[in-house]
Amino acid sequence: MTEPPIDVSGLVKRFGGYTAVGGLDLRVGPAEVHGFLGPNGAGKSTTIRVLLGLHHADAGRVRVLGRDPARQAAEVTRRISYVPGEVTLWPNLTGQEILDAFAGLRGSRDKAAEKRLAGAFALDTGRLVRTYSKGNRQKVALVAAFAARTDLLILDEPTSGLDPLMEEVFQGAVRDAAAAGRTVLLSSHILGEVEDLCDAVTIIKDGHLVESGQLSDMRHLAASVVTAHLPGRDAATVMARLRQTGLTGETTAGTVRLAVPRDLVPAVLAILADADAPDITCTPASLEDLFLRHYVVAPR
Amino acid sequence: MTMTWLLVRRYRLPLLCWTALVTALCSTPSAYQSAYATAEQRRTAVVLAQNNPASTLVYGRLPDPGTAAQMFAWEIGAFVTILTAIMAVVVAVTLTRTAEDDGSLELLRGCGVPPMRPLHSALVILAVQSGVLAVACTGAVLATSRTADGVTGAGAAAFGAVVGLTFATVAAVTVLLAQVAATAGQARLLGFTALGAAFAARAIADTRHLGTLNRLSPLGLRAVTGPFTEDRWGALLPGLLAVVILGGTAVLLCARREFGAGLLPRRDRRGGRLRIRTTVGLAARLARPALLSWTVAVAAIGTLFAAMGSGTVEQQRDGEVGGFLGSQLGAGDPAAEYLAYCGTVVGIVVSTYAILSILAGLRAEDTGRTGLVLVTGVRRWAPTAAQAVVTAAGCLVVLTITGVISALITPSVLDGDDIGPRSLAYTVGQWPAAMASIGCATLLVGAFPRLSGLAWLPLLASSGLALLGELLGVPRRIQDLGFFRHVPDVAGPDPHVTPLLVLIAAGAVLVLLGAAGSTRRDLRAG
C-alpha cells in the first residue's frame, strides 16, 4: 500500500516550557485536499514548519512524501510548494525576479503554468516588491507554489490578503492541482473556503487533535437544524410532542427551532407536517456548526 | 507634544549614541598639547600640515600659530563636523520618512494626528538636538581648558555653535530633500549626495583659496567662524537664516505631497530576469547594492587617508611624531608603517561591513525569507554558508579595489620605496582579518542566533588592541591576539604570512561550524 503524502503520529513540539503541539496525529491521503483547522495558537503553523523540516520535532513520527523532513529536508521540500500566511519578500526585487529565484533554486520550472497563473491572478510581475500590497505579495507566493512541479502543496492561510475574485481563482487552482493528482494541505480560518475545497479535515486545539475525518462523514454525524412556523396556540402543543422524542428546542413568537440528529429528522418532519406547519426548513450542519464550538479557547 | 515625545521615545537610543560619540570626540584638545614635546616640534608639524595639500583637502586650513586648540578644531573639528553631518542625514530621514515607509505613522495618522504634526514634531526634535549638541560640545571642549593651550570660553562656545549649526543646516537640507524623495532610502541617498557636495565645496574652497565657497557649505562653517582664532559669531547668521528658510520650504512642500510618497515619482518597474540557481547566486544579487556603496565609500576614504600621510611620514623620519599616531607608526620604515596603519583602519571598516552583512542573513531568517528559500529544496546550511561566502567575496572586492586605487594614487603623493606594492598589500592583506570576523559572526548567527550581538565583540577587542594596544602598553603577545596588524611588509626581508593563514583557516572553520550549527536548530521564523 502506498504511504500517504503526510503521515504524522504522536508529534510533540516544545519551545522551552511551552508545548505548542502535544501528541498530534495527522494523515493526508494522496490527491486529497485536506483542511487543517483550529483557533489561533492551536499549533497549525508549528506543525506545518515541522512538516517542512524548518522545526525539529521533540517526539513522534513524521513522514512527508515517504521521508523524514528533519533528516532529509531538502529532498522533501524539493517536492513541496509552500505558501505562508504572511509573505515577506525582498523589496528591491521585482515579482518576476522572485519567481525566477524560486524556480532557479528549485531547479525546475513550468514557464507556461507560471505565465498562465500570473495572468489568472492578475499579477503584474514587472513591479518591484516594495510597491506590492499584502495581497500581491501573497499572489507571488501562490503563483510560485502552483506553477512549481511538486507533489504536495502546503498552504498556511494562503488567501488572507486576497479579494473575493482572486479567492475564486485560488479555489480553481486548488481544484486543478487536486485533479492533477497533487495533494493539498490547507490551513485556513475561512470555513466556507474549506467547505468548498476540502475532502477531509483535521481540527486541532491547544496542540491536540480534536476531530479528523472525511467532511461528509462528519456532517453525517452532526445534527441538522429544523425550524417551523406554527400558529401561536399550536406551538406549545407541537413542542411538547417533539420533546417526547427526546429533543430540546426553543419556541419564539410561534417559531419552533431545534437541532435534530440525522436519524430523527423524518420523525420530526412528520410531527410538524401533522400539525399543518406552513413553513418548515431543514438545514444540514454547516462546517461552522461543526467547528465553531472548538474555537472557544482559554489563553495558553 | 504627544507626537514629539513618541518620536523621542522611539529613537532615543540612536540620538543618545550619536550625541555621546560626538561629545566624546570633543574632549580631546589636550591630546594635541601632549603630542609634541617642544615648541619647535609643534612648529614643524604646523608648517608641514599647512603645506600638505592632502591634509588641507581633508581638514581645511590650519591657522597660525597652531595652538593645541587650533589643531584640535582643525583636525578633530573636521571629523566632528563630518560625523555630525552624517548624523543629521540619518536622524532627519529617520524622523521624517522612515516612520511613513514602515507603516507605523499610518496608524498614528488614523488616530487623529493632523497631517503636518509629524513634520512639526520632527523639526522640533532636530532643533532641540542641534542645541543639545552645541551645549554638549562646548562643555566637553571647555573641560579641557586647563590642559590645552588656546582653549577659551568664547572659542569653545563658537566651536559648539559650529557643531550645532552644522547639524541644523544639514538636517534642514535633508528634511527638505525628504519631501522630494520617493522613499526613505532615496531621501538618505540624496542627503548623503548633498553632504558629498558640501564636502567638495569645502575642500575646493580650502585648496584653491576660494573662501566664498566655504560660506555656501555647512562643512565650511568651521572655517568661516574660526573657533579659537577669530571666533566670528556673525558668520553663523547666514547659516541660521538658511535653516529657517529650508525648514519653512520643507513644511510648504510637505503639504503638497502624498503620504508615503515624495514629489519625485517612484521607480516601480523593472523588466529584467534573475538567472540564479544557487543560494550563493541569490545572496550575491541581494548583496549587490550595499556592496557597491561600501566599495565606493571605503575606496574613497581609504585612498584619501593613505594619500594624506606625507606630512606624518616626513615627521616620523625625524622621529617627531608622538601620541596616538606615534604609537601606530612603530620603529620600521615610516612610509610602510603609515600604510600599515591606513590598512588597519580600512580593515576595521571592512570588517564592520562583514559583520553587518552576516547579521543581515539573520534578519532574513527572522522575517521569513530564509524559510521561503529553504522550501525550494535548499539544504538547511546553504543560506548561512552562502551569506558567509558572498560576504567574504564582497570584502575581497572592496579591499582589492581600494588597494588598487590607493596603489595607483599614493606613490605620487607619498615619498618612499615601493609605495604602490606596499599600499596594495597592506590593504588587501586585511582580508584574513575580515575572514576571522566573518567566521565569528557566522558561528553565532548559525549556531547561537540569540547571541548574535556578540559578533561585534571580537571586532571591538581587535580594533582596541590595534589602535590603543601600544599606547596603553598592552603586552605584545596579547596584542597579537587581535585580528589586525598581522600584515607583513611585502618590501621588507622575509615577509611572514603564517598569522594571515591562521586567520583565514580560523574564519573558514568557524563558518563551517556556524553552517553546521544552523542544521541543528529550528528556523526562527518562516
Do A280 and A151 belong together in one domain? no
Which residues in A lie closer than 8 A to residue B376 (C-beta atoms)?
77-78, 102, 105-106
Task: Using CB atoms, pick whichever of A87, A97, A130 lies closest to residue B273.
Answer: A97
Question: C-alpha dihedral over A284, A288, A291, A292, to 10 degrees?
Answer: -130
Question: C-alpha dihedral over B470, B473, B476, B480, to 10 degrees?
Answer: -60
**Residues near B101 by Cβ (< 8 Å), separated by ≥ 6?**
B183, B184, B260
Q: What is the CATH number of the domain that holds A265?
A: 3.30.70.120
Do A124 and A41 belong together in one domain? yes
B371-382 pLDDT per residue, tens: 999 999 999 999
Burial degree of B234 (CB within 10 A; 0-12, 13-18, 19+): exposed
pTM score: 0.80
DSSP state of B62: P
DSSP B462-491: HHHHHHHTTTTT--HHHHTTSSSS----TT
Q: How many domains does chain A contain in total? A: 2
B406-419 pLDDT per residue, tens: 999 988 888 888 99
Residue ending a domain, choose from A171, A192, A213: A213
Residue A52 lies in a domain: yes
pLDDT at residue B355 in the model: 96
C-alpha cell at B262: 515624495
Q: By the 8 A CB rule, do B134 and B163 touch? A: yes
Distance from CA of B324 to the nearest CA of A (A): 43
A157-213 pLDDT per residue, tens: 999 889 999 999 999 999 999 999 999 999 988 888 898 999 999 999 999 998 898
The mean of the pLDDT values for chain B is 91
Reply yes or no on whether the pLDDT at B514 is more than 80: yes
Residue A27 lies in a domain: yes
Mean pLDDT of B154-158: 95
Do A73 and A17 belong together in one domain? yes
Residue A293 lies in a domain: no
Radius of gyration of chain A (CA): 23
Minimal-distance CA residue of chain A relative to B276: A104
Cα–Cα distance for residue pair B60/B70, rounded to 1 Å: 12
DSSP state of A94: B
Minimal-distance CA residue of chain A relative to B261: A131
Half-sphere exposure of A291 toward its Cβ, with a 13 Å CA cutoff? 25
Residue A296 lies in a domain: no
Q: How many beta carbons lie within 10 A of that of residue A86, not counting itself?
A: 16
Do A41 and A154 belong together in one domain? yes
B12 to chain A, any CB pair closer than 8 A? The answer is no
Reply yes or no on whether the pLDDT at B230 is more than 80: yes
Element of type H or E holding A19: strand A18-28
Closest CA to B274 of A140, A143, A104: A104
C-alpha cell at A79: 517536492
Closest CA to B29 of B114, B149, B124, B113: B149
pLDDT at residue A49 in the model: 95
Do A124 and A229 belong together in one domain? no
Given pLDDT bands bounded at 50, 70 and 90, which one contains residue A233?
low
Distance from CA of B348 to the nearest CA of A (A): 28
Task: Using CB atoms, pick whichever of B267, B272, B277 lies closest to residue A107.
Answer: B277
Q: Which residues pair with A22 in a beta bridge?
A: A12
Do A103 and A237 belong together in one domain? no
Read off φ and ψ for residue B315, nearest 5 degrees: -60, -40
Do A181 and A239 belong together in one domain? no
Q: By the 8 A CB rule, do B25 and B83 touch? A: yes
Residue ending a domain, choose from A187, A213, A239: A213
Task: Using CB atoms, pick whichever of B269, B285, B526 lies closest to residue A54.
Answer: B526
Read off φ and ψ for residue B38, nearest 5 degrees: -125, 160
Closest CA to B486 of B509, B507, B506, B462: B462
- Mark out chain A residues that contact chain B at CB-CB < 8 A: 49, 52-56, 73-75, 77-82, 84, 86-90, 92-94, 96-98, 100-102, 104-107, 126-128, 130-131, 141
Residue A291 lies in a domain: no
Do A112 and A253 belong together in one domain? no
Residue A148 lies in a domain: yes
Cα–Cα distance for residue pair B505/B494, rounded to 1 Å: 22
A178-191 pLDDT per residue, tens: 999 999 999 988 88
SS3 of residue A67 by DSSP: strand
* Cα A110–Cα A115–Cα A119 angle in degrees, nearest 5: 145
Residue A292 lies in a domain: no
Mean pLDDT of B490-505: 92
Q: By the 8 A CB rule, do B400 and B392 touch? A: no
Reply yes or no on whether the pLDDT at B400 is more than 60: yes
CA dist list (Å): B137 to B28, B63, B83, B234, B390: 11, 21, 13, 20, 41
Half-sphere exposure of B404 toward its Cβ, with a 13 Å CA cutoff? 7
Do A101 and A171 belong together in one domain? yes
Q: What is the CATH number of the domain that holds A128?
A: 3.40.50.300
Q: How many beta carbons lie within 10 A of that of residue A251, not counting itself?
A: 16
Helices B382-409 and B334-366, axial angle in degrees (round to 10): 150
Cα–Cα distance for residue pair A191/A157, rounded to 1 Å: 11
Element of type H or E holding A283: strand A279-283
What domain range is A259 assigned to? Answer: 223-284
Q: Kindly report the three-state secondary structure assignment for every residue of A158-185.
A: CCCCCCHHHHHHHHHHHHHHHHCCCEEE
Reply yes or no on whether the pLDDT at B526 is more than 60: no
**Residues near B109 by Cβ (< 8 Å), separated by ≥ 6?**
B115, B118, B259
Residue A65 lies in a domain: yes
pLDDT at residue B288 in the model: 95
Reply yes or no on whether the pLDDT at B317 is more than 80: no
Do A195 and A234 belong together in one domain? no
Do A153 and A244 belong together in one domain? no
Cα–Cα distance for residue pair A133/B38, rounded to 1 Å: 68
pLDDT at residue A195 in the model: 87
Element of type H or E holding A260: strand A255-260
Minimal-distance CA residue of chain A relative to B371: A54
- Between residues B107 and A289, the one the model is more confident about: B107
* Cα A173–Cα A177–Cα A182 angle in degrees, nearest 5: 155
**Interchain pair A54, B523: CB under 8 A:** yes
Residue ending a domain, choose from A182, A213, A244: A213
CB pairs under 8 A between A and B: 112
Given pLDDT bands bounded at 50, 70 and 90, which one contains residue B200?
confident
Do A65 and A170 belong together in one domain? yes
Name the residue ranges covered by the structural domains of chain B. 2-254, 279-519
Mean pLDDT of B493-503: 92
Q: By the 8 A CB rule, do A22 and A74 touch? A: no
